[in-house]
Every structure is written in C-alpha cells, then in structure tokens.
Amino acid sequence: MTQRPTTFGDVRAIAQGEPSAALWFELCGALERWGDRRELEEVVVPYLSGYMDRWPDDDRVVPDRWIPRYLSGELGVVGELPRKLFMVSRLKDPGVYASLLDATLTTNLTRLFLGWNHLNSDRIIELSSRDTFSGLTHLSLRGNSLYRRGVDAVVSGRWAAKLEWLDLACLSLTPKDLEPLRHVAAMPSLRHLDLSQNNLGAWVRFRGTVIERVRSLNLGGVELMDEGVRSMVEGCPAMRPRTLDLSSNGIGDAGVMALLASELMSDLRELDLNGNQVGDAGVRALVTSPKSAGLRRLKLRGNAFGLDGVRAIAQSPHLSDLVELEIHRLTSEATETLARSETLPSRITGQWR
C-alpha cells in the first residue's frame, strides 16, 4: 500500500509532540516521504531545527536504513538532525569502516556505538584522531580487541574532552592495559565508566585514576573477589560513585565488610551485588549499617544468604527509601517475612504480597 506524501502539517504535529524514540522514527519516515528535496532542505529542516533542542539526543538515532546514505553524506542537511549512531558489528566490512572514517555528518553526533567490530588498537587510534568525532559524549567500544595502545588512544583522542559515558566492557583488558587511565586530565567530563567482563582482578589498587571521579562504575564480572574490593576501597579512597555494579565477582561477607569500612558508600544510591557469595552475616551488616540509608536500588539476587538475611532486610531501619530490591527465589517463609515488613516501603513489600 502506497503511503501518502508528507504534508507540512504532519511535520509540525510531530515536531510539537511529546518527544520519544517512537515519534522520532515517525519523523524520519515523514522526511523520507517528502517529495520536494529543495523544499525539504530549505524550509522543513530549518523549521525542525528550532524544535530539536526539546528532543533528547538519546532518541535521535540514525535509522538503520539511513546508514549508507548517512555515511556517504547523501542525506545532506537531513543527516544533521540525528545525534546517535549504532555501528555494532557493521565495521567488519572494510568499506563501511572507510566510510565511517571519511564521513562528515558525524560531527553532529554525541553518541556512537562501535561494539563487536573486531576493532584493534590501530583502528581505534585512527578513529580517535578524527576531528569529526570530537563532539561525542557517549562512546561504546565493547567486545573489540583493544589493548594498552588502544586504551591510550581512547583516553587521549579528539573525543576525550567531552566524553561523559565510556563503555570498555568485554575487551579482555588486564591491569596493565588500563595504565592510561591515570591520565585523568584527558577526560575531565567522564561520569560513567563500564569495565565489566574484563580480566582486572585487583587493578583498582591504582590511585589517581579516573575511577576516583566517575559517578557510575560497572565492575561486574572482573574477578575482584574480596581482596579486590579491599584493594579498591584502600587504593581509591576518594571514590564516591552514585551507582556501583559489583555483580558476579565472587564477593563474600568480607568484601561487604570492606565496603562498609570505607567512605565509598557515602553517596551511593545503587548497589548491584547480584551473583556473588554474600551470606547472612554480610547481608545483616549491610542493611543494619547507617551507610545503606542512601540506597535507592539494592540487588542481591543469586547470593548465599537465607532466611536470617531476609529477616535482617525486613527489619532494617535504613531501607525506607528503596525503590528496587532484587533477591533470589525465596521460600514461602522468607516471602511472608518481607511482605509483613513494617520498615520497608510498601512499594517493596507489595512485591511479595
């Protein structure tokens, strides 16, 4: 069925609507159906530009079907509207990689996702040297083949000054590979760092790295163990994240005690300990400590605690502000204990009623 041509009224209604990802893709479809290219570029796009500040960059994605024309520049001024580009698993084709290097519309991007492309350090060095990526605030490189040279290029590249969000997960990085993170002055805006699923162990002994400044830190699955947690809090005493993911690290009660003995939890709002080995004693220490009072999200699924730990959670005077609590599958008695809690907020106890 042939779609009718887009009218200016259609574009105006979309532009003035409540911004969302779905409405953004509706807008992209409307622009594709515009009949007069000159009118599109000289009237429609300038009109839309006046509304684009209302739209979050996270919604303004380059549609998959646009990507070839986006990289070639064929989209013209229409290609200046998007802010987010997914190139996951697309750069294995040398021609596509070359097109990305030479693209000029990428100067408008703030978010670039380059995961799972077999990119090595040499290619990261090439990409990081391009002025066309200097506006990036969000960069994902997960699942590639970076080593120390690649990490150094990320830290010192043209994009480094504005980066706020950096994903270096699943890269098989070792502590040696992360030495460039000592160059903290190179990424002054960085607030989120994902180092999950790397081979880091006790790398966090390093003092003076960006880890001390970020507000959201993902260290899930990096083989920390209890000793790594102790190294982290002792080696980075200034670290004050609001979100901390320590899932799947073999952390037990001793690791929890190390967290509580530090100042790390002073600003913490979200703590993920899923998939560890925390027992009743560790859970009791955590939830009875005043340092847990700031938590909004607490994830404890897949640990070793039982009914005693659940009782400690249900009786805690410090978890009244929780909006999310994750716990592994419970016995009927444990479920009833949580449902009857007089200290947990109703939005939490209601899950077990």
Q: What are phi and psi of 123, to 5 degrees?
A: -70, -35
Q: State the Cα–Cα distance between residues 144 and 120, nearest whole angstrom.
A: 7
* Residue 73 CA, distance from chain mean position: 29
Confidence band, pLDDT 50/70/90 cuts, at residue 7 = very high
Q: Could you name the CATH architecture of 62-352?
A: Alpha-Beta Horseshoe (3.80)
Tokens of 254: 């001793």
pLDDT confidence of residue 1: 43
Q: pLDDT tens digits for 106-123?
A: 999 999 999 999 999 999
Q: Give per-residue pLDDT as tens, 55-68.
A: 999 999 999 999 99
pLDDT at site 236: 84
> What mean pLDDT do residues 167-174 have?
96
Say which residue, 201 or 1, is predicted with more confidence.
Answer: 201
CA 286 to chain centre: 26
The one-letter amino acid at 265: M
Encode pLDDT of 194-247 as tens digits. Answer: 999 999 886 656 566 788 889 999 999 999 999 999 988 888 888 899 999 999
pLDDT value of position 345? 96
Do the beta carbons of residue 170 and residue 142 sit within 8 Å? Answer: yes
Q: What confidence score (pLDDT) does residue 271 get?
A: 98
Mean pLDDT, rounded, for 123-129? 97
Instruction: Identify whether the C-beta of residue 38 lies closer than 8 Å to the C-beta of residue 8.
Output: no
Residues above pLDDT 90, as percent of the chain:
86
Terminal Cα distance for the chain, rounded: 50
Please spell the DSSP secondary structure of 16-77, one letter per residue.
TS---HHHHHHHHHHHHT-S-HHHIIIIIHHHHHTTGGGS-GGG-B--GGGHHHHHHTTTGG
Residue carrying structure tokens 């460039």: 180
235, containing H or E segment: helix 225-235
Of the listed ranges 123-132, 181-190, 235-244, 252-261, the least confidently predicted one is: 181-190
In a 3-state reduction of DSSP, which class is residue 61? strand
Q: In what helix (H) or strand (E) does residue 236 lie, and over which residues does it extend?
A: none
| Of 92, 156, 155, 161, residue with least CA distance to 120 | 92
The pLDDT confidence band at residue 292, using thresholds 50, 70 and 90, is very high
Write the burial class of residue 93 (CB in 10 Å: 0-12 exposed, 13-18 middle, 19+ buried): exposed
| Alpha-carbon gap, residue 353 to 342, rounded angstroms | 13
pLDDT of residue 203: 61
Give the β-pairing of 324-326 and 297-299: parallel
Mean pLDDT, the chain, integer? 94
User: How many contiguous H segments (helices) and E segments (strands) does the chain have?
Assistant: 14, 10
Q: Which pLDDT band, with edges at 50, 70 and 90, does 262 fall under?
A: very high
Judge whether 172 and 198 are in contact, CB under 8 Å.
Answer: yes
- pLDDT of 181 reads 87
Q: Are 146 and 173 in contact (CB under 8 A)?
A: yes
Q: Taking 70 as the threshold, does the pLDDT of residue 142 lie above it?
A: yes
Give the pLDDT mean for 101-107.
Answer: 97
- Provide the b/e sequence for 45-69 (b: ≥16 CB within 10 Å): beebeebbeebebebbbbeeebbee
Q: Where in the chain are the domains?
A: 62-352
